[in-house]
Amino acid sequence: MTAIVTNDLRFRYRTDAPWSVAGASLQVEPGEIVLLEGESGSGKSTLMRVLAGLAPAFHGGEAAGEGLIAGVDLRTAQPAEIAQRAGFLFQDPETQVVMAEPLRDVAFSLQCHGAPAETILASARTALERINADHLIGRRIDQLSAGERQRVALAAVLAPEPALLLLDEPTAQLDDDSACELVGELRRLADLGLAIVIAEHRHDRVGHLTDRVIGLRHGSLVSPKTTVPLTPLASTPALTGPPLVALDSLTARRGERIVVRHATASLQPGQVAALLGPNGGGKSTLLRTLAGLEPTPDGRLLVDGLDLTASGAESRVPLVAFVPQDPGRTLLCDTVRDEVLLGPRTLGCDLAVAEQMLAALDLVHLADRNPRDCSVGERERVAIAAAFALSPQLLLLDEPTRGMDLAHRATLVRLVRKHAARGGCAIVATHDLDLARACADRRWLLVDGRLETAGETP
């Protein structure tokens, strides 16, 4: 049975709005892996939601056209009925979780699919083992890192072995090893007859395993663009003299757990460090500590000669600006423009810089829109613009390319290098080695709570 057949499928969030999915005619056969590519906001996630039967059921709006998902008619079937045939991985793994503990969460999928009670826990454990996440069993999901959460979400989708997998950015939060393992597992499943549709900006990770690539522009299916990897920009020669940023035997902890011990490193003005390491290695905690959101139990942080160890985040801005992981969830204002201008207005910074950042990050056409109506990638750009708008000395970016297309990743690289050229420093925690190569001139590797800073360009 054909996994997906759609004919002139259309969807829009409001009846007076343009179609977000504009006449998609698509056919995906069992065993086929299809990659959906397109810019941020081009409608990839929306199309996936329509195929999963979740739009318009949960989002309102208007749908038209025809679609069969593993033989089930999209027009008449309930979303839960489609879910029995099509597993859907949300772009944000946080959204995917239903239970509080990984094994229970994966078991929930199997329970919903009516698996026999006596096999459920064993099957759930196997699903977690398949993507190397069985060591997370027994931990609380809300205390896992984003990458670890994504693995749990993936296991929950894979466990019931549906006929069709719809995966929205499945490797966005994964380190390279985990992404590689996932890709191998997906190929194995496809060879067993599963149809898989993947929306992903990281073509370098999944492109080689796909059978077909389909482009999406403004909701319409088109021929895919040729993707060009990020090109490293020339790094600025670092200035000599005292370092702008110095971590002196700094310890970072999350809650009661020490995750980074005695980190010592420094950056000269104009240097950018890529903070690398496996999922759950403590990258986010270290950045949160540098930003002043977590207390520093031991060691010192000096920025521009000032000892910031004891000061909180509110006292570190605008000297230090931080874009946390998944910032789109915690935007405060009613419009994109107000969000970007909030910090500069509060701190008396130059508002012209904020306006420049709106333009640089391609947000002008969204300036009057509520950030909650933006896509994940667009929200990420709003948060990045808000950080750049403070003209900080030290910029901290935690996985800044989630949901971001190649063009905007290139823009981000340019902005980071420009910031460095003006004498600023940046620390970018990322699994995106392309990004790390393109924008950083120092490599900081965080493994087992120890920071190794010997590396040059990653």
Partner 1 sequence: MKAPVPPLLCALALIVIALATSQPLVVAAALLGALALHHAAPPPHRLMLRIALISGLFIAVLNPFVAVEGDHVLFAGPNFWLIDFEVTSEEVLYGLVAGARLATAILATSAFLRLADPDRTQALASRVAPRSALTVALSARLAPTLRRDANGLRETLRLRGTGAERGRRAAIRQGTRLIEPLVASSLERGIDISEAMVARGYGAGRLTRLPEAPLQRNEQVALLCGVVGLVVAVVLLAGVAPYEIYPLADPIATSIAFVLAGLTLGVSVLAAGSLRTRP
Under rule CB under 8 A, residue 76 binds partner 1: no
Q: Quick one: 101 or 248, whose CB is closer to partner 1?
A: 101
Considering only 5-13, 112-120, 301-309, 352-360, which stretch makes contact with partner 1 by CB under 8 A?
112-120
Residue showing tokens 């299809």: 34
CB of 136 to partner 1, least distance (A): 15
Q: Quick one: 97 or 451, whose CB is closer to partner 1?
A: 97
Q: In what order do the strands lie in the sheet with 33-37?
A: 86-89, 164-168, 195-199, 33-37, 212-217, 220-222
Q: Quick one: 212 or 345, whose CB is closer to partner 1?
A: 345
Among 1, 17, 117, 351, binds partner 1 (CB under 8 A): 117
Tokens of 84: 């029995």
Rounded Cα–Cα distance for residues 235 and 415 (Å): 12
**Helix (H) or strand (E) segment spanning residue 248:** strand 245-254
Considering only 101-109, 227-235, 355-363, 406-414, which stretch makes contact with partner 1 by CB under 8 A?
101-109
Residue showing tokens 């008619």: 73
Under rule CB under 8 A, residue 351 binds partner 1: no
DSSP class of residue 415?
H
Among 88, 271, 366, 395, binds partner 1 (CB under 8 A): 88
Rounded Cα–Cα distance for residues 201 and 377 (Å): 10
Binding-residue pattern over the window 206 to 245 for partner 1, x denoting contact by CB under 8 A: ----------------------------------------
Among 63, 83, 416, 445, binds partner 1 (CB under 8 A): 83
Write phi, then psi, for 86 (nearest 5 degrees): -125, 120
Residue type (1 letter), 8: D
Maximum CA extent, the chain: 69
Q: What is the distance between the terminal CA atoms of the chain, rounded to a whole angstrom?
A: 46
Whether the CB-CB separation of 81 and 54 falls below 8 Å is answered with: no
Under rule CB under 8 A, residue 343 binds partner 1: yes
Residue showing tokens 């004498």: 423
CB of 280 to partner 1, least distance (A): 18
Residue type (1 letter), 183: V
Residues between 139 and 198 with contacts to partner 1, criterion CB under 8 A: 142, 156, 160
The residue ranges that bind partner 1 (CB under 8 A) are: 52, 54, 57-59, 78-81, 83-84, 88, 90, 94-101, 104-105, 107-118, 120-121, 142, 156, 160, 256, 291-293, 312-315, 317-318, 321-322, 324, 327, 329-332, 334, 342-343, 346-347, 372, 386-387, 390
